[in-house]
A and B are shown apart, each in its own frame.
Chain A
């Protein structure tokens, strides 16, 4: 579904990704594991069109998307739920969700999607009229995920959904991610909580200093010595 072929990217003169290969097949849950600054977020931002790749190809459903601006990428069916929630703080939760369905394709079916998404997030339904900025961190994360779902994406990318949340909320976030996976959406997940992430992932990539150093099933990576030492602190 999504293929990154020898992709290089960075900011200004700094190269972060040194030619990485990543593949996500339809219906899969794929995760990228790595230290802070290894290039996980950059990978997602490059796919989303926020960072222009300096070399390599990104294809989605057979189409080259590496040169597309972000709004075109969203229109193709790829949605990134960004690190740190990034809600529109002075808008109501309802308007945030409406913004999630901004692409023409999603806008046509907004009411229906809204109902479906709110069924997944009953707590969000209670907060619809509140300003997004007034919600707690955990609630904001739920709204951010719900907003991402509003686009009816084919591929949903999560960037550190549990970052900065209390452990108990982290567990709720993972429950939600698992529920979303069950709806059949393809997921590309970046998370610092390596243990939990690898447990739900079909496959995982290990990213170090902007290069993929390993690539295996989630379960295999969990058993791997290097992963255990470097990322699980075992």
Chain B
């Protein structure tokens, strides 16, 4: 598509009420009104079920979709909610209080499970959650004194709002609808806040998210806490609604899977997808039950499972994917007309005064197994300096970068970063380095592939601008500056390699770092792009950012570096002015080769 319109100035898209919003509001109104108007008990039951399952799937989606951690143990929280309230009612405590108590317990349990398990990926995380669910179910069965064991627990039949049990159907529908609205509101808020962006970024590329200053473990734990608490609240109400609970039903693996399935069918990672999924399969199941007769045991599960397989095969983005008609513009290489075009800094200013050291690495040692990757590496970067790092492949350049950005801990040695307000700190995690003002790029570009270019940059911008609007503003400005204006609304995955490299820098620059670590940003660029990148880095430097650049493109190293360090086999073998370093016989031997030496006679 070529009809990419470029406005004169970047401005946030006007907040418009589109068809989608109206449709969803209408849908929610229908869910509430249809049973009230029809008044039939069965219809009430179906719609209460829809509200509850929709709420559960929406809550699950916060962990399973936004955070991308496939939990198959969510019935743990559902059961905890039901049991907490049911056990408190005989003590005269209202289930409304039990609901909050259960939510608190569930949030704690969720964090307790998540803390060790979030290291596990994909199927292994799923297996661990299944194991936790089984353990809790078996314990609930075992400790009959508390839970009543396999016999189950009858909730004392006290009716009225205080006890959450009613003779009529409509108050139950109201509560169920309220829970659905609450979970949707929470999920919607999360998805469109910094928290949600961080979750998705962490799901897509954990290292890149960490480099953008995200404490990836903490936000995942926050997600599981919120999700567990909401699930638990639904569990409390459902227990009261059923008035009978037993471990096999409350801590059921099949039920856990079912919750996840609704979300998967609807489209994980979207706010309303899980509700769509519920709305498709619950009525479908009820209809099928009508055709086949009420005795059709197992019918609902068969429908759910089959629909899920079909969805996975034919609609990988779920039902919500049908509604999302995002313009899938081909990445055009048109990048003209950025509003604030980069002014070519032709005349290079006279060699600038270097300030105080701003990043100091002392005696860094790192071994992988028996292999020494960095050996006693020390250097310092001064304020306003561009420091080039060169060396053959496998010399330990990227490993060094990982140590000065918190991705790897050196076995010995220390990295100190000077804060803006003065005083050195030694951060120990990627987000710690980010907070200290260090931004980095990755040699192998790490775009958040499913996000748009603008959203990618926003992940960086959130670091200093927690509000979505301000982050968006900052990201738009950065996109313009980095020559990504024309592509700001396309998905990052469709950028060319040059575009991805620029996006990598743009995301970091949106963090407004004081120290910028660039890992081979020139690799794979053609001459024009290399020239452009050089100007860009010059401009960044002139804005007061200190830069360390790993680079093979000698032309860029020679043009940009104030000082060059040469690394070979994990050791610093030379350091000095660029023009001196390239004449150093050791460097020619180890890295540049004789061809280079012949071409650059001293």
11 sampled A-B residue pairs with Cβ under 8 A: A12-B493, A13-B330, A13-B331, A35-B525, A35-B526, A37-B525, A38-B526, A208-B526, A209-B526, A233-B554, A233-B555
Q: Is the CB of B524 within 8 A of A230?
A: no
A35 to B553, CA, bound (A): 10
Chain B positions within 8 Å of A, measured between CB atoms, are 328, 330-331, 392-394, 493-498, 523-527, 554-555, 589-590, 593, 595-596, 599
Interface flags for A155-197 (1: CB within 8 Å of B; 0: not) read 0000000011111000000000000000000000000000100
A195 partner residues in chain B, CB cutoff 8 A: 595
Whether B494 contacts A13 by the Cβ 8 Å rule is yes
Besides A13-B328, A37-B498, A230-B527, 18 more A-B contacts (Cβ < 8 Å) are A12-B494, A13-B493, A13-B494, A14-B331, A14-B495, A14-B496, A35-B525, A36-B523, A37-B524, A37-B525, A163-B393, A165-B393, A166-B392, A167-B392, A167-B589, A167-B593, A208-B526, A233-B554
Residues of A within 8 A of B555 (CB): 233
Q: Assess the A233–B599 pair: CB atoms within 8 A.
A: yes
A232 in contact (CB, < 8 A):
yes
Bound form: Cα–Cα A209–B526 in Å: 7
A205 to chain B, nearest CB (A): 16
- B32 to A: closest C-beta gap in Å: 42
Give Cα A123 to B328, complex, Å: 53
Chain B minimum-CB-distance residue to A164? B393
B596 contacts across to A, CB distance below 8 A: 233
- Residues from chain B with a CB closer than 8 A to the CB of A208 are 526
Q: Chain A 104-142, CB within 8 Å of chain B: the 1/0 string?
A: 000000000000000000000000000000000100000
- Decide if B524 touches A36 in the complex (CB within 8 Å): yes
Cα distance A14–B487 in the bound complex, in angstroms: 14
Q: Is the interface of A mostly helix, strand, loop or mixed?
A: loop
- Expressed in whole angstroms, the Cα–Cα distance for A234 and B598 within the complex equals 9
The CA of A180 and the CA of B555, in the complex, are separated in Å by 35
Interface residues of A in 1-43 (CB under 8 A from B): 12-14, 35-38
In the bound complex, what is the Cα–Cα distance between A179 and B574 (angstroms)?
36
Check B595 against A232 for contact (C-beta < 8 Å). yes
User: Chain B nearest CB: distance from A134 CB in Å?
Assistant: 11
Task: Report A-chain residues with C-beta under 8 Å of the C-beta of B494.
Answer: 12-14
CB distance from B478 to the nearest CB of A (A): 23
A177-B527 Cα distance, complex, nearest whole Å: 30
Q: Which residues of B contact A230 (CB under 8 A)?
A: 527
User: Within the complex, what minimum Cβ distance (angstroms) separates B315 from chain A?
Assistant: 18
Q: How far is the CB of A84 from chain B (nearest CB, A)?
A: 11
CA distance A166 to B330 in the complex (A): 41
Contacts of A165 in B (CB 8 A): 393
In the complex, residue of chain A having the shortest beta-carbon distance to the beta carbon of B330: A13
Known: A230-B527, A233-B596. A37 touches B330 (CB 8 A): no
Which of the listed residues A36, A164, A208 has the most CB atoms from chain B within 10 Å of its own CB? A36
Q: Which 9 A-B pairs have the closest CB atoms?
A: A37-B524, A36-B524, A234-B599, A164-B393, A37-B497, A13-B494, A36-B523, A195-B595, A164-B394
Q: How far is the CA of A209 from the CA of B392 in the complex (A)?
A: 25
Q: How far is the CA of A173 from the CA of B268 in the complex (A)?
A: 49
How far, in Å, is B497 (CB) from chain A's closest CB? 4
In chain A, what residue has the closest Cβ to B394? A164
The interface residues of chain A lying within 8 Å CB-to-CB of B524 are 35-38
How far in angstroms is the closest Cβ of chain A from B595? Answer: 5
Chain A 45-59 interface mask (CB, 8 Å, partner B; 1/0): 000000000000000
State the Cβ distance, A163 to closest chain B Cβ, in Å: 7
A37 with B331: CB separation less than 8 A? no
Report the minimum CB–CB distance from A168 to chain B (whole Å). Answer: 10
A165 to chain B, nearest CB (A): 8
Bound Cα distance from A209 to B330, whole angstroms: 17
Bound-complex Cα distance A38 to B529 (A): 12
How many angstroms from the CA of A107 to the CA of B554 in the assembled complex? 47
Name the distance in Å between A39's Cβ and chain B's nearest Cβ. 10
B residues near A164, Cβ cutoff 8 Å: 393-394
- Which residues of the other chain, A, contact B527 by a CB distance below 8 angstroms? 230
Query: Shortest Cβ distance from B4 into chain A, in angstroms?
Result: 15
For the complex, give the distance between the alpha carbons of A230 and B554 in Å: 11
Cβ distance A60 to chain B, nearest Cβ, rounded Å: 29
Closest to A192 in B: B552
A33: min CB distance to chain B, Å? 13
Tell me how far the C-beta of B505 lies from the nearest C-beta in chain A, rounded to whole angstroms: 16
Complex CA gap A208/B529 in Å reads 12
Question: In the assembled complex, which residues on chain A have CB atoms less than 8 Å from the CB atom of B330?
Answer: 13
The closest CB in chain A to the CB of B596 belongs to: A233
Let me know if A232 and B599 touch, CB within 8 A.
yes
Residue of A nearest to B494 (CB): A13
Determine how close the nearest CB of chain B comes to the CB of A54; give it in whole angstroms. 13
Residues of A within 8 A of B497 (CB): 37
Task: Return chain A residues, CB-CB under 8 Å to B590.
Answer: 167
Bound CA–CA A80/B593 (angstroms): 28
What's the Cα separation between A14 and B599 when bound, in Å?
A: 37
Using CB atoms, name the residue of chain A closest to B523.
A36
Nearest A residue to B595 by beta-carbon distance? A195
**Residues of chain B lying within 8 A (CB to CB) of residue A38:** 524, 526
